[in-house]
Structure 1
Amino acid sequence: MKESLKRPLPGRDNLKETEKQKMPSLFVCKKCRKFLQAARLCTLPALFVCASLTVHAQAGAAPAGNPHQTVTLVGAGDIATCKHIESAKATAKLIEGIPGTVFAAGDLAYEKGSSEEFKDCYDPAWGAFKDRTKPALGNHEYGDHRAAGYFQYWGAQAGPEDKGYYSYDLGNWHVIVLNTNCNIKAMGGCGQGSPQETWLREDLAKHPTSCILAYGHHPLFSSGLFKKHALHPELRPFWEDLYAAHADLFLAGHEHSYERFAPQDLDGKRDPAHGIREIVVGTGGKSHDPLGMPTPNSEVREWKTYGVLKLTLSPGEYHWEFIPVEGSQFQDSGDGVCHNAPSSTD
């Protein structure tokens, strides 16, 4: 046997740095190296096998929904009315310049969410990015019987018909869309053991290591002036499940204003270690609702500005930014850490 065939294949660790950069990718592929070491022969067919394995590994390294990537979620609730559609078009203009997934947090087409209102009011404004929008049901959608106009407009994007709740993944984040219209008989309520609460609990159990974000139309906490409209304690069972799963964010609309809360527990007590940060962003374009006295842990409030909330979701952390429509000055931004983020010792 020739001397050259007796030599073991050179290890990458024995090469100088400049030589490593020049070596083919077969030294990156462990399967290829083991194959060649076993054969003790670097023939042309073997190189083709290595190249094939290496390309396959690289192609699968960054699939859609890659948990290591940073993603964008942007949107608002309480959006379009034909009475003054220009406000909704102004917020739509903001989103058109922001790539990523769009959330629409309910009350999308006023006044009744009919097929005509979705076609004539919502679609001319936010319809430009319909294909990348993940909608949630508001109470005005049920102005049309069983929210028929909503489900007709969105199709499969809206989740199972007559339910309207579903979930999806964005990078390392698991996003849950809730139907917070607990008074709709077909929903079976929002109490513990209800169909939606059972689904939520089971869905969360499947994602124990994901960062968790949920959104729906109604908030649990709000400084809204009219408390019967602003506060929704019937959502507490959902929050119990989210809190137990170490959820990070809850987005809502319903109040036509912007309000950001500190992370807090179900009783409204500040809880930076385990609490959920709620952000109310009913600023999509419909109208403005005045706010009352600040609710405990309410950090920022504004009710005279239309705009959208942009979330940058990274593995283990998030950044929020409220972006106002052209001509408005109010802004809000900050950062948070995901509760389910691995520790530095993991």
Structure 2
Amino acid sequence: METSRVVDADSHIEEVPEIWDYLDPRYQSRRPFPITVEKPVEFTNLNALWYVDGNVYPKLIGQGSMVFATPLTSDYARAKMFSLGSQGLTDVEARLRDMDAAGVDVQVIFPTLFLATLTDDVAFETALMQAYNSYLAKACGQRPDRLKWAALLPLRAAEEAVREVRRAKELGAVGVATLGTAGEMLLSHPSLHRVYEEMERLDLPLCVHVGWSHPGLNKSCDNTYTSRISFTLPVLAAFWAIVGGGVLDAFPRLRVAFLEAGSEWLPYWVGRMNHYYHSDTENQRGGYMPKKRPSDYLSEGRIYFTCEAEEPLLPQVIELLGEDHMMTSADMPHGEARERSMDVIRQRKDIPDRVKTKMLGENAARFYKL
């Protein structure tokens, strides 16, 4: 197949304490820090946690469980195939070597710690996200030709989010990273329209990533395996909210991607949205109804997905979504890192070479305007 630039649409940083050097001085007394715990059986080798505003992250046991591998002081992080400098972007050259080994030319970086809502104090959350954005800008700025990043915005404080998206654009962000909900708020909430308006003006796409964003769902899950429910379902809620809640109608130039939730749910979900669209168009009193069938928005060219390279139904999803809108990711350096995902895509016999070339780089380059 034809070779071209390979763009990894979704990989990660494992956050490091150096990020908080950029924290607003007013909040330095509340600076997050890593703690190490004795290693009970339940923790396996995930024996380090972040202490943030009186809580620990990740929470590996009990109601509200979640799992990720930052901070880097854990035995788990030290045992990975990726160096600590690569994981935390304290050694950019090490990350580039890992990208070379995976056959990746350009990588777009997303957070790990911020896949959870870290505090109920929205002003503090704003400061944490600003520090993260400043650190990513400096780290990726060492090799801007190969390392790109998506900015975090405090969506629960819309005016602060508008100011931060302007700053992030100036710092070099290529997108905005969000979870599937803003707390209990759907991403179609009217308070977010001012943010989307500014993103559209700045030509920054919305990148909806899996994560533990919804408090009610989080409380329903009491171990790391069931926590994948609260990790994944907000992305599906976001798709319904953005497509069915008027965001695409109100902002006709806004691009949106749905990341790390796989793609095989798309035909089912769009089918259900179409089903209820026909009945609720006649019956709904109040609230917003989209201007056309939800499936019709897929042909507009503004909705993108990442996939798992081995998904059996991937050809059918591509047929529905369009071959110009499926992207691939390595998820580096996470525990389920798909560092060979690019090769898996290349080796598939059920996807034409033309489409593979688009999936491996052209589509992500178009989405992120690289």
User: Scaled by the length of structure 2, what TM-score is found?
Assistant: 0.36
- The structure where helix makes up a greater share of residues is 2
User: Scaled by the length of structure 1, what TM-score is found?
Assistant: 0.38
Q: Name which one, 1 or 2, has greater alpha-carbon Rg.
A: 1
